[in-house]
Every structure is written in structure tokens, then in C-alpha cells.
Amino acid sequence: MLWLSPLLAIALTSVVALVIFAAAGRDPFSSLVRFLFSPLGDLYSFGELLIKAAPLILIAVGLSVGFRAGVWNIGAEGQLVLGVIFGGWVALNYGPSGAPWVLPAMLLAGAIGGAFWAAGPAFLKTRFNANEILTSLMLNYVAALWLSYLVFGPWRDPMGFNFPQSEPLAPAALFPIIIEGTRANIGIIVALLTVALSWVVLSRRLVGFELKVTGLSAPAARYAGFSARRAVWIGMLTGGVAAGIAGVGEIAGPLAQIFPTASPGYGYAAIIVAFLGRLHPVGIVFSGLLMSLLYLSGDVAQMSLGLPSAITGLFQGMLLFFMLAADVLIRYRVRWRRAVPALALEAAR
């Protein structure tokens, strides 16, 4: 029955969406239809849906490994940016050579960058017991400033009319397109391979079981001899590697250039994708597609409905709220009565 709650959440969010559209003075039903379906009108838009879903799915799968073990990596946004910085360095320096190893090297560098940024909170957690939520989150801001320094400074395109952007990446540093007539590239295949790999590891290998037990009950994991520190390292690094690769996918894919803001908040949205997909690889594919649709719909809202594109984040937050509530209503039977302290009950007898 638990698969029902994401669907319930979508239904409830749609109801609130109707209210929001009505409050903004738009016709609620036609706006909702336009909001949800106009991004899917043609092949090109379908490609856009896929290239936005790919990083979300990739990062969410990576994060879900940690979330299962109760390791809260909130720093995917920063780890993505590190992927952009490390992968971008390779692309800017070796891309013009046109060598075939440039793209694999970018992916490797991005993975190392993301892992490096995730290793900080993992080290501080395992060595000093510092809360990984707060440390990984703080590093998001630091990473954004680092990228901004590079793009406003050493990496700025001398021919770019002083805009804060790097020079366009060389063709050797770009992902090949897989669907003709769209921008859909092999990043989508990378994401799907990750989904398959993580499904095998999580459900068919011992380490997946270890992580699950650690998340469900830390004492049980300790009793079974599963190392909590190992879980922190595995959880943080998988998220970091996935986010770093996703960062490379952004500059090697739709952006084809390096900008100070490399991601429209994919690192944060992926957290919601992971939970909406119930931390399960297959569920994450669906929730990633849904979240990608919401991003495209945000653009529709801005362009054809005249509403701020921030409406996307509003719906993202609501989806998670409603799913958390629906979970409880599905898991438990609700009985309306006053909670009476146990002592008072005994006294009354």
C-alpha cells in the first residue's frame, strides 16, 4: 500500500495547484492542464524532460544510498558544483586537443570532485562527530562561491563581452546526442545505468543490506558487526560521486559552457526526488521524471501563465509534505481520542 502515498501526494498537490491558479486569477483547470501537459507537446520537449530528469535521477539514486543508512547528505548541490569545477578544468585545458579520452577524463574528474567535497563532511562526522547535515549544507555555499570566483575570474571568456561565463566547451568535451532533433544526450544512459547498478547493489549484495539495517536500527547494526563509520563513508561518497558526475553532465550537455550558477537547484530537488521515490531506484526514476516535468512546467508558468517560476519549488515542497502525511495515514489507523497518561488510566480503574 505504501506505493499509494506518492500518488495521493500528487493528487493533493494538484488540488492545491488549482487553488493557487484560482488565487492568481487564472482559470484553474485549463491552467493546470497547460501547466502539466504543454511541456510534453513534441519530441524536442520530451528530450528536455529527459535531460532534466537525468541529473535528478542520478543524484537521487546516489543520495538514497546514504539516506537508507540514516546518513544525511544535504550537500549534493555543492558536490555537483565541484563536479563542474573539476570536470570543467579538464574540459577547458584538454578539450581543444580533441582527444577521445577527454570526456571519460571529465567524468572521472567530476566524480573525484564530488567525492572530495563529500569526504569533508564524512571525515568530520566520523572523526569529530560533527553533524553532517550542517557541514555538508555549509559547503554548498562555499562551492558556489568557488565556482563564481573561477567564472568571474580566471575562467572568464576573453571574447565573452565581459559576461561571467567560460568559453564554449570544445566538441570533444560534449556528450553525444542520442535522440536526433533533441538535446537528449548519453547522460540519460549514464543515469539509467546508475539506477540498474544501485538496484543490484542495494537489493542483492551484502553492503546494501548492511546500509539498510544501519538505517533501520543502529544498535542492531552494531550487534551484527556492521561499522557505522563505514556506512557514513559509503553513504556520503556515493552521493558525492553521483552529484559530481551530474555536474559534468550539465556542462557537457545542455549548458555546453560554464556559468556561475551551474544548476537550478538539482542538488536540493534530488533530495525530494529520493524520498518521493521511496529511496528505491525504480521509484526514483518515476519521481525524477515527475520533478523534471515540474521544472519544465515552471517555465510554462512563467512564460504563458505569467506566474513566477518559483512555483516549481512550491509544488516540490508540497509533494513531500503530502507524501509524509499520506505515509502516516496509510501505515497507521487513525483513532480520534484524547491521549490519556498511563498513570491516570490506572488511577481511574
Partner 1 sequence: MSLLTILLAALVAGTPLLYAALGELVTERAGVLNMGVEGMMVTGAVVAFAVALATGNIWLGVLAAMIVGALLAFLFGVLAITLMANQVVVGLALTTFGIALGTYLGKPFVGTALVLPRGSAGGGLAQLPVVGPLFAAIHPLVWLSWVLFAGVWYFLARSRPGLVLRAVGESPSSAHAIGYPVARIRYLATIFGGAMAGVAGAYISTVYTSLWTEGLIAGRGWIAVALVVFATWRPERCLLGAYLFGGATMGQLFAQSAGVGLPSELMSALPYLATILVLVLISRDAALMRLSVPASLGKPFNAEG
H or E stretch at 41: none
Q: Which residues contact 20 (CB under 8 A, 6 or more apart)?
A: 311, 314
Q: Which of residues 5-44 bind partner 1 (CB under 8 A)?
A: none
Q: Which stretch binds partner 1 (CB under 8 A): 158-166, 192-200, 228-236, 315-323?
A: 315-323
Grid coordinates standing for 199?
Answer: 538496484
Measured from the CB atom, is 196 or 330 closer to partner 1? 330
Q: Which residues contact 319 (CB under 8 A, 6 or more apart)?
A: 6, 9, 10, 13, 272, 276, 290
CB of 154 to partner 1, least distance (A): 10
The answer to whether residue 236 forms part of the interface with partner 1 (CB under 8 A) is no
The answer to whether residue 75 forms part of the interface with partner 1 (CB under 8 A) is no
The answer to whether residue 117 forms part of the interface with partner 1 (CB under 8 A) is no
User: Alpha-carbon distance 301 to 279, whole Å?
Assistant: 29
With contact defined as beta carbons under 8 Å apart, do 28 and 18 qualify?
yes
**CA distance from start to end of the chain:** 39
Q: What distance lies between CA 45 and its chain's CA centroid?
A: 21
Binding residue for partner 1 (CB under 8 A) from 2, 15, 189, 324? 324
Backbone conformation region of residue 166, classed left if phi is above 0, alpha if psi is from -120 to 50, else beta:
beta
Measured from the CB atom, is 74 or 109 closer to partner 1? 74
Which residue is associated with the grid cell 515542497?
317
Binding residue for partner 1 (CB under 8 A) from 23, 41, 129, 336? 129
The answer to whether residue 72 forms part of the interface with partner 1 (CB under 8 A) is yes
Measured from the CB atom, is 44 or 141 closer to partner 1? 141
Measured from the CB atom, is 48 or 77 closer to partner 1? 77
Binding mask 241-270 for partner 1 (x = CB under 8 A): ---------------------------xx-
Binding mask 294-313 for partner 1 (x = CB under 8 A): -------------xx-xxxx
CB of 73 to partner 1, least distance (A): 12
Binding mask 141-160 for partner 1 (x = CB under 8 A): xx--xx-xx--xx-------
CA angle 320, 62, 294 (to 5 degrees): 40
Which residue is associated with the grid cell 566520523?
126
Measured from the CB atom, is 111 or 326 closer to partner 1? 326
The answer to whether residue 219 forms part of the interface with partner 1 (CB under 8 A) is no
3-state secondary structure (DSSP) of residue 154: coil
3-state secondary structure (DSSP) of residue 177: strand
Grid coordinates standing for 197?
Answer: 547498478
Q: What is the DSSP letter of 178?
A: S
Binding residue for partner 1 (CB under 8 A) from 271, 273, 291, 300? 271
Measured from the CB atom, is 145 or 196 closer to partner 1? 145
CB of 42 to partner 1, least distance (A): 28
The answer to whether residue 135 forms part of the interface with partner 1 (CB under 8 A) is yes
Q: What distance lies between CA 47 and its chain's CA centroid?
A: 19
User: What burial class does residue 107 get, using C-beta atoms within 10 Å of its C-beta: 0-12 exposed, 13-18 middle, 19+ buried?
Assistant: buried
User: Alpha-carbon distance 322 to 31, whole Å?
Assistant: 22
Measured from the CB atom, is 21 or 175 closer to partner 1? 21
- What are the distances in angstroms from CA 160 to CA 39, 84, 163, 165, 250? 31, 19, 6, 7, 20
Number of residues lying near partner 1 (CB under 8 A)? 50
Binding residues for partner 1 (CB under 8 A): 72, 74, 120, 124, 127-131, 133-135, 137-139, 141-142, 145-146, 148-149, 152-153, 268-269, 271-272, 275, 307-308, 310-314, 316-318, 320-321, 324-325, 327-329, 339, 341-344
